[in-house]
């Protein structure tokens, strides 16, 4: 009986103490007509050795291809110590720190995390995490709707340069509470939010403006101008940022003359493996003035009976277990273990290490663009400054090219032609610090070969 | 021992040098106006300092791996190490969420089979794995209920019924979807007040959210009648799967009449709680809600369904690994693919950028395969045996059960109402003193209906000796309190800190470290 | 036993109301309510000029483990709010009928006050809890 310790003697003694003739009798309150028979689609149990063999086979099937995909999830080196410590049972198998005295490890770590993520984003207060970047954006917009007492229409300007899947999540999760996303066009040359497209909304009741930096195309937005414009409209600024980029880029707290109001993003680049899209974590920071509108758990420092410093969950009256239908959000379980990893990751990299990682990503992407755009017919689409991602245009439809690259165990990037048909055969590529010069050359050679083969066969 | 904040051991110029990627910092590609000019407040420490600091912090935690953790409604059972190890195989960790299906068949096979296993265990017609926690599963469920009514042009149905003992997430979720919430009272034995329910349902009823066994630790005996009443009125039934562990393999929500269910895989399927998360809140649906499932879902690429390139037409594609056991859902020749809005045009949409907490789902899959058909049925049996044993022993020692006439499910409630009146002993006092005895506290003050309550869930993975020691501890604390209540009120004494000043924490907000 | 000043009016949701000489009314929560909630950590008072209906939730009081809405005993327009509670919520615990007042209203209909409980009736009600 996997994971059940009872001996036959135990069972007999326990049933005797209960006064029940058998285990089945313990279910006698369930109507007999409801009791289910054997499960048909659940196979026989496997011992650990066999499931290990099976999972290894499955993993090998997917392989370890060379990955130039980014689009919101980035391959970074994760120091060995990060997951060695994160998977210690004391972190891994603990519950939410409701009993503060028996959870000081998790609580102090969260307080340190809040300090670090506030420092990175240039904000005053952070929660203890959301599910992921996309759901954090949804919550940030709901928060903006509560916090903006002046512009209450729920209209939210979301540039087309914001991650399209994030916008999908915003639509799915905020509609019922009155958030109305309105798209804003981008400039064809720079791939950044178009001033004229914003100007068309001037004078309207806009609750919030979303600014993603770097944007979905990897390009750098003129965040100061956008922030000041939004504030002039009485809108709150909701920033979506890549935390690694913040080692080099101006933090949202310093955007424009008064800074962004709410900052969110995906914490994946801080110690979370790609892992098919999750678990990652969403971060959410804001100004002190909006702390009571913030969803999720928050840790505070206080003292114990003897005056000794300690940490505890605070401002819980915002949360569902106390406020129920009037809670700021229904979130309960968050992504604590990923925050543990991120906090260790940030500690090991430090300000210098994170800046070097960010710089290495930029340099690799720049080099990749140089190599790929030297292939006839391949061009870099936008001219504005960028971080570690860029859009390329191919001379042929993207999907078959990516398929041919995948056959060579290379993931060539994200096909933009579905979401952005106006860009033509456009491909979003990314080269993080993990890519060697050989990797970049291998991609160039493969792409050249695929495009050539394609050209000769048609 | 106080562990200093990592910022307090930080020194300018110190670093974990092995983590330097070996390049200089070059910001020339960034326009000056967009550059960062200050250094972010991150610690500057050596690798060993960081390792020692976080290892020491970990030692200040109670956890399943170190302590009995009978937290009611949370199912703190053993998290098998194999689940973690196998979910962290290098290929699974490196798999990008946008990886093409040609390089995803191993992963997709696991996800597809997990969907099938969960369908079978819950008796539902479809499963989507994407919700990232129970509350997001609830959101998906209520969103599907709303979408269903809307698709039928039944626009007035915006009221969600919840029992007064429901988890806080139920009303909070209904509110997030723009629904109003109506509470249904509970009767003296812990069942939903059926007469009150009859009076409450009507043309505005969107649905009812129920936990069964309920948050009171007892099975809702009239569930079929309740299902009939709600369905008759045109509403749907939502099953909050927080307590699924109690009935795993014994009775299926689908057979009880539920239309939609979320499962807390971090409870019932033993994925770790991680100090607060990540969870996984897969949803199961009845046939009529299938079109509305959140995307993406894993489907089988049939012969004609070769929508995505690279699947099914590559002759060199390796055969999918199959195991030897007779497993009707596994087929080594099958190809899997993602289903999205093109396959499910009525979907409620995307709840995460990708497919949710994939790594957690892999852990749940490994767990399900290790348990297998029979192991799965034993979960509910032994969880229930342990709870009833503990309840019987505590009753025998004079503790008052909140629902003495009922069978315990996988959890049960004792109330200290009498102890509080007699000697001032509260649930908080007992919870804090238990820590000194080396036991994590049960859930306290939930459900709100029962005064001074302790909601105790031992789970199936605890041995009898541990349960007996827990009984002894509770008896000892009661004895202590009779002799010297102040001693118990001063607890805990052996933790890294004593009772914390929560009022000060909330009044004088200190939410991040700042240099003096 | 919690204090129930004789000169005030009450409602069963534990708010008190005092008629002022200038025709306005002052509203707060009772000693019983503050005691039941415990140490308050946050108080939100209504915005000036807000028009509220009878029994409308228009303020919030929070302790560490609970949060409660405060309801307007009668309809009217908010003409003053006790901003001091925003920074010092503990005043409401120490002096619920004095410095811990929450807001003042101009009643929509002055006669509404007459329908509220007097001290004796509220005290009798407390005994039933």
- Residues 310..369 of B with a Cβ closer than 8 Å to A: which? 310, 314, 318, 320-321, 323, 325-330, 348-360, 366, 368-369
Query: Cα distance from B315 to chain A (closest Cα, Å)?
Result: 12
Tell me the residue ranges of DSSP E strands in A290-332: 298-303, 309-314
pLDDT tens-digit readout, A12-37: 999 999 999 999 999 999 999 999 88
- Residues 265..304 of A with a Cβ closer than 8 Å to C: which? 292
Residue by residue, DSSP assigns C1-28 as -----TT-EE-TTSEEEEE-TTS-EEEE
pLDDT at residue B457, as a whole number: 97
Residue A436 touches chain B, beta carbons under 8 Å: no
- CA dist., res. B404 & res. B409, Å (int): 12
Query: Quick one: closest CA in A to B89, which residue?
Result: A59
Residue C65 touches chain B, beta carbons under 8 Å: yes
Q: State residue C95 phi and psi, 5-degree precision.
A: -145, 65
Task: Give A196: exposed, middle or buried? Use CB within 10 Å, 0-12, 13-18, 19+.
Answer: exposed
- CA dist., res. B350 & res. B143, Å (int): 12
Interchain CB distance below 8 Å, C42 and B503: no
pLDDT tens-digit readout, B359-396: 999 999 999 999 999 999 999 999 999 999 999 999 99
Residue C63 touches chain A, beta carbons under 8 Å: yes
pLDDT at residue C32, as a whole number: 95
Residues A401/B100, Cβ–Cβ less than 8 Å: no
pLDDT at residue B330, as a whole number: 53
pLDDT at residue A37, as a whole number: 85
**Who's near A399: CB < 8 A, 6+ residues apart?**
A415, A417, B309
Residues B380/B245, Cβ–Cβ less than 8 Å: yes
- CA dist., res. A122 & res. A124, Å (int): 7
Of B99, B446, B511, the CB nearest to A298: B511
So what's the ipTM on this one?
Answer: 0.97
How many contacts (CB atoms, under 8 Å) link A and C?
16
pLDDT at residue B326 is higher than 50: no
Checking phi first, is residue A124 left (phi over 0); if not, alpha (psi -120 to 50) or beta?
alpha
Residue A3 touches chain B, beta carbons under 8 Å: yes
Residue C28 touches chain B, beta carbons under 8 Å: no
Confidence band of B516 (pLDDT split at 50, 70, 90): confident
Residue B206 touches chain A, beta carbons under 8 Å: no
What kind and span of H or E run contains A208? strand A208-213
Question: What distances in angstroms separate CA A234 from CA A144, A208, A249, one per listed residue?
Answer: 12, 8, 25
Closest CA to B447 of B457, B439, B455: B455
pLDDT tens-digit readout, B262-313: 999 999 999 999 999 999 999 999 999 999 999 999 999 864 444 443 333 3
Task: Sort out which chain C residues have CB atoms less than 8 A from B503's CB and list them.
Answer: 39, 41, 63-64
Residue C7 touches chain B, beta carbons under 8 Å: no
pLDDT at residue A323, as a whole number: 86
Residues B288/A4, Cβ–Cβ less than 8 Å: no
Interface test with B, best of C39, C62, C66 (most B CBs within 10 A): C39
pLDDT tens-digit readout, B200-223: 999 999 999 999 999 999 999 999
- Cβ–Cβ contacts within 10 Å for residue B483, how many? 10
The partner residues of A167 in beta bridges, in order of sequence, read: none
Task: Sort out which chain A residues have CB atoms less than 8 A from B505's CB and list them.
Answer: 300-302, 312, 314
Query: Cα distance from A414 to chain B (closest Cα, Å)?
Result: 8
**Rg, chain A, Cα only:** 26
| Comparison of pLDDT for A12 and B328, the residue scoring more | A12
Query: Cα distance from B81 to chain A (closest Cα, Å)?
Result: 9
- CA dist., res. A195 & res. A189, Å (int): 13
| Structure tokens that stand for B239 in this block | 């099953």
Task: Give C66: exposed, middle or buried? Use CB within 10 Å, 0-12, 13-18, 19+.
Answer: middle
pLDDT at residue B311, as a whole number: 38
- Residues 88..127 of C with a Cβ closer than 8 Å to A: which? none
Confidence band of B22 (pLDDT split at 50, 70, 90): confident
pLDDT tens-digit readout, B452-467: 999 999 999 999 999 9
Report helix, strand or coil for B142: helix
Q: What is the mean pLDDT of residues C83-92?
A: 94
Residue B481: alpha-carbon gap to chain centroid: 34
Query: Cα distance from B96 to chain A (closest Cα, Å)?
Result: 5
Q: What is the mean pLDDT of residues B319-329?
A: 46
CA angle A278–A175–A323, rounded 5-degree value = 80
Walk along chain A (458 residues) and give the pLDDT tens digit of each residue: 799 999 999 999 999 999 999 999 999 999 999 998 889 889 999 999 999 999 999 999 999 999 999 999 999 999 999 999 999 999 999 999 999 999 999 999 999 999 999 999 999 999 999 999 999 999 999 999 999 999 999 999 999 999 999 999 999 999 999 999 999 999 999 999 999 999 999 999 999 999 999 999 999 999 999 999 999 999 999 999 999 999 999 999 999 999 999 999 999 999 999 999 999 999 999 999 999 999 999 999 999 999 999 999 999 989 988 888 889 999 999 999 999 999 999 999 999 999 999 999 999 999 999 999 999 999 999 998 999 999 999 999 999 999 999 999 999 999 999 999 999 999 999 999 999 999 999 999 999 999 998 555 54
pLDDT at residue B284, as a whole number: 98
Rounded to the nearest 10°, the torsion over CA A185, A186, A189, A190 is: 170
Interchain CB distance below 8 Å, A44 and B325: yes
Closest CA to B299 of B347, B251, B364: B347
Query: Cα distance from A234 to chain B (closest Cα, Å)?
Result: 23
Task: Sort out which chain B residues have CB atoms less than 8 A from A65's CB and list them.
Answer: 99, 103
Interchain CB distance below 8 Å, A41 and B328: yes
Residue C41 touches chain A, beta carbons under 8 Å: yes
Interchain CB distance below 8 Å, B121 and A54: no
Query: Quick one: closest CA in C to B500, which residue?
Result: C64
Report helix, strand or coil for A123: coil
- CA dist., res. B360 & res. A131, Å (int): 13
**Who's near B68: CB < 8 A, 6+ residues apart?**
B438, B439, B440, B458, B462, B466, B469, B470
pLDDT at residue B151, as a whole number: 97
CA angle A174–A176–A181, rounded 5-degree value = 45
Task: Sort out which chain B residues have CB atoms less than 8 A from A288's CB and list them.
Answer: 509
- Residues 256..275 of A with a Cβ closer than 8 Å to B: which? 266, 273-275
Helix, strand, coil: what percent of chain A each, to 5?
45, 15, 40
Residue B336: alpha-carbon gap to chain centroid: 27
Q: What is the largest CA-CA distance in chain B?
A: 79
Query: Cα distance from C102 to chain A (closest Cα, Å)?
Result: 19
Q: State residue C88 phi and psi, 5-degree precision.
A: -130, 70
pLDDT at residue B316 is higher than 60: no
In percent, how much of chain B has pLDDT > 90? 91
Residues B134/B241, Cβ–Cβ less than 8 Å: yes
**Who's near A304: CB < 8 A, 6+ residues apart?**
A101, A310, B497, B498, B499, B500, B501
Q: State residue C41 phi and psi, 5-degree precision.
A: -120, -10
Q: What is the mean pLDDT of residues B161-175?
A: 94
pLDDT at residue B319, as a whole number: 43
* Residue carrying the six token digits 């005053």: A124
Task: Sort out which chain A residues have CB atoms less than 8 A from C66's CB and list them.
Answer: 317, 322
In this complex, the chains that touch B, judged by 3 or more CB pairs closer than 8 A, are A, C
**Mean per-residue pLDDT over chain B, rounded:** 93
Of A292, A322, A326, the CB nearest to C66: A322
pLDDT tens-digit readout, A25-82: 999 999 999 998 889 889 999 999 999 999 999 999 999 999 999 999 999 999 999 9
pLDDT at residue B176, as a whole number: 94
pLDDT at residue B332 is higher than 80: no
DSSP state of A2: T
Report helix, strand or coil for A95: coil
pLDDT tens-digit readout, C50-76: 999 999 999 999 998 888 999 999 999
**Pairing relation of β-strands C40-44 and C57-63?**
antiparallel
SS (H, E, C) B441-480: CCEECCCCCCCCEEEECCCCCCCHHHHHHHHHHHHHHHHH
Query: Cα distance from A238 to chain B (closest Cα, Å)?
Result: 17
Question: What distances in angstroms separate CA A284 from CA A117, A225, B34, C101, one per listed residue?
Answer: 9, 23, 21, 35
pLDDT at residue C66, as a whole number: 85
Interface test with C, best of A317, A319, A326 (most C CBs within 10 A): A317
Query: Alpha helix locations (H) across A63-194?
Result: 80-86, 89-92, 104-121, 133-147, 164-174
Task: Sort out which chain A residues have CB atoms less than 8 A from B509's CB and list them.
Answer: 288, 291, 300, 314-315
Rounded to the nearest 10°, the torsion over CA C91, C93, C95, C101 is: 70
The partner residues of A281 in beta bridges, in order of sequence, read: none
| Structure tokens that stand for A7 in this block | 């001996």
DSSP state of B178: T
Task: Sort out which chain C residues have CB atoms less than 8 A from B502's CB and list them.
Answer: 64
């Amino acid at each position: 009986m996997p994971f059940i310790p009872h001996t036959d003697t135990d069972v007999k003694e326990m049933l005797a103490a209960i006064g029940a003739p058998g285990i089945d009798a313990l279910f006698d309150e369930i109507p007999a007509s409801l009791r289910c028979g054997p499960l048909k689609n659940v196979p026989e149990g496997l011992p650990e050795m066999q499931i290990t063999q099976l999972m290894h086979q499955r993993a090998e099937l997917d392989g370890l291809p060379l990955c130039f995909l980014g689009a919101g999830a980035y391959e970074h080196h994760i120091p060995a110590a990060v997951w060695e410590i994160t998977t210690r049972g004391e972190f891994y198998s603990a519950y939410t720190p409701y009993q503060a005295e028996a959870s000081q490890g998790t609580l102090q770590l969260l307080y340190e995390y809040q300090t670090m993520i506030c420092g990175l984003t240039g904000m005053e207060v952070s929660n203890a995490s959301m599910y992921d970047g996309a759901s954090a954006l949804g919550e940030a917009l709901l928060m903006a709707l509560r916090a903006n007492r002046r512009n209450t229409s729920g209209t939210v300007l979301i540039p087309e340069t914001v991650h399209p899947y994030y916008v999908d999540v915003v639509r799915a999760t905020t509609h019922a509470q009155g958030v109305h996303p309105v798209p804003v066009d981008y400039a064809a040359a720079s791939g950044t939010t178009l001033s004229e497209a914003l100007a068309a909304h001037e004078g309207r009741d806009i609750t919030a403006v979303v600014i993603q930096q770097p944007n979905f195309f990897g390009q750098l937005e003129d965040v100061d101008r956008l922030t000041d414009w939004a504030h002039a409209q009485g809108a709150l600024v909701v920033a979506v940022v890549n935390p690694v980029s913040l080692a080099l880029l101006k933090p949202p707290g310093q955007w424009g003359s008064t800074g962004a109001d709410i900052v969110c993003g995906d914490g994946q680049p801080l110690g979370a493996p790609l892992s098919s899209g999750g678990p990652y974590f969403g971060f959410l920071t804001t100004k002190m003035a909006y702390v009571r509108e913030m969803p999720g758990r928050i840790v505070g420092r206080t003292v114990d009976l003897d005056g000794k410093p300690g940490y505890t969950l605070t401002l819980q009256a915002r949360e569902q277990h106390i406020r129920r239908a009037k809670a700021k959000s229904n979130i309960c379980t968050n992504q604590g273990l990923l925050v543990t990893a991120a906090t260790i990751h940030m500690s090991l990299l430090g300000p210098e290490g994170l800046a070097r990682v960010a710089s290495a990503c930029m340099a690799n992407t720049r080099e990749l663009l140089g190599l790929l755009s030297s292939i006839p017919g391949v061009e870099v689409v936008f001219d504005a400054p960028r971080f570690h991602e860029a859009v390329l245009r191919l001379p042929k439809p993207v999907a078959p090219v990516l398929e041919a690259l995948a056959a060579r165990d290379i993931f060539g990037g994200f096909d933009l032609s579905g979401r952005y048909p106006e860009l033509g055969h456009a491909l979003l590529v990314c080269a993080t610090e993990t890519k060697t010069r050989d990797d970049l050359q291998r991609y160039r050679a493969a792409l050249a070969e695929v495009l050539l083969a394609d050209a000769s066969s048609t | 021992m106080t562990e200093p904040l990592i910022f307090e051991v930080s020194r300018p110029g110190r670093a974990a040098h092995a983590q330097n990627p070996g390049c200089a910092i070059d910001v020339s590609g960034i326009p000056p106006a967009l550059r960062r000019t200050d250094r972010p407040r991150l610690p500057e420490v050596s690798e060993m300092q960081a390792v020692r600091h976080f290892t020491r912090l970990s030692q200040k935690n109670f956890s399943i791996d170190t302590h009995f953790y009978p937290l009611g409604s949370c199912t703190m059972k053993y998290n098998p190490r194999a689940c973690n190890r196998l979910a962290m195989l290098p290929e699974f960790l490196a798999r990008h969420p946008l990886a093409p299906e040609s390089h995803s068949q191993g992963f997709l096979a696991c996800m597809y089979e997990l969907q099938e296993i969960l369908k079978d265990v819950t008796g539902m017609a479809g499963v989507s794995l994407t919700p990232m926690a129970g509350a997001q599963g609830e959101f998906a469920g209520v969103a599907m209920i709303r979408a269903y009514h809307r698709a039928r042009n039944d626009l007035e149905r915006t009221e969600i019924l919840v029992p007064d003992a429901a988890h806080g997430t139920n009303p909070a979720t209904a509110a997030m979807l723009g629904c109003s919430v109506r509470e249904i009272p509970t009767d003296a034995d812990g069942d939903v007040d059926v007469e009150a329910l009859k009076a409450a349902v009507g043309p505005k009823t969107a649905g009812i959210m129920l936990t069964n066994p309920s948050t009171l630790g007892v099975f809702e005996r009239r569930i079929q009648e309740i299902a009939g009443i709600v369905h008759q009125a045109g509403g749907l039934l939502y099953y909050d799967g927080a307590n699924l562990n109690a009935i795993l393999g014994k009775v299926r929500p689908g057979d009880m009449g539920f239309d939609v269910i979320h499962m807390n895989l971090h409870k019932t399927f033993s994925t770790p709680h991680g100090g607060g998360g990540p969870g996984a809140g897969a949803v199961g649906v009845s046939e009529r809600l299938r079109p509305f499932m959140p995307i993406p879902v894993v489907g089988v690429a049939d012969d004609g369904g070769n929508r995505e390139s690279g699947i099914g037409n590559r002759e060199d594609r390796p055969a999918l690994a199959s195991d030897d056991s007779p497993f009707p859902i596994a087929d080594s020749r099958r190809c899997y693919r993602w289903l999205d809005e093109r396959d499910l045009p009525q979907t409620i949409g995307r709840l995460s950028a990708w497919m949710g907490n994939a790594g957690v789902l892999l852990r749940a899959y490994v767990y399900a395969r290790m348990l297998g058909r029979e192991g799965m049925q034993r979960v509910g049996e032994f969880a229930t045996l342990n709870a009833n044993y503990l309840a019987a022993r505590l009753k025998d020692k004079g503790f008052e059960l909140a629902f003495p006439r009922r069978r315990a499910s996988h959890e049960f409630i004792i109330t200290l109402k009498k102890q509080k009146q007699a000697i001032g002993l509260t649930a908080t006092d007992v919870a804090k003193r238990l820590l000194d005895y080396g036991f994590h506290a049960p859930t306290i003050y939930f459900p709100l209906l029962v005064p001074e309550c302790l909601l105790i869930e031992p789970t199936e993975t605890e041995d009898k000796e541990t349960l007996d020691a827990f009984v002894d501890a509770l008896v000892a604390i009661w004895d202590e309190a009779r002799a010297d209540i102040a001693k118990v009120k001063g607890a805990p004494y052996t933790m890294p800190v004593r009772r914390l000043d929560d009022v000060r924490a909330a009044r004088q907000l200190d939410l991040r470290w700042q240099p003096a | 036993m919690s204090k129930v000043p004789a000169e005030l009016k009450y409602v069963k949701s534990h708010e008190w109301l005092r008629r002022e000489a200038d025709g306005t009314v002052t509203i707060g929560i009772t000693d019983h309510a503050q005691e039941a909630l415990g140490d308050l950590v946050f108080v939100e008072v209504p915005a000036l000029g807000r028009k509220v209906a009878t029994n409308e939730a228009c303020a919030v009081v929070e302790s560490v483990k609970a949060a409660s809405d405060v309801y307007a005993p009668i309809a009217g327009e908010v003409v003053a709010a006790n901003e001091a509670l925003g920074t010092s919520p503990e005043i409401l615990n120490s002096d619920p009928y004095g410095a811990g007042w929450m807001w003042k209203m101009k009643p929509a209909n002055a006669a509404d006050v007459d329908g509220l409980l007097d001290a004796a009736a509220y005290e009798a009600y407390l005994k039933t809890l």
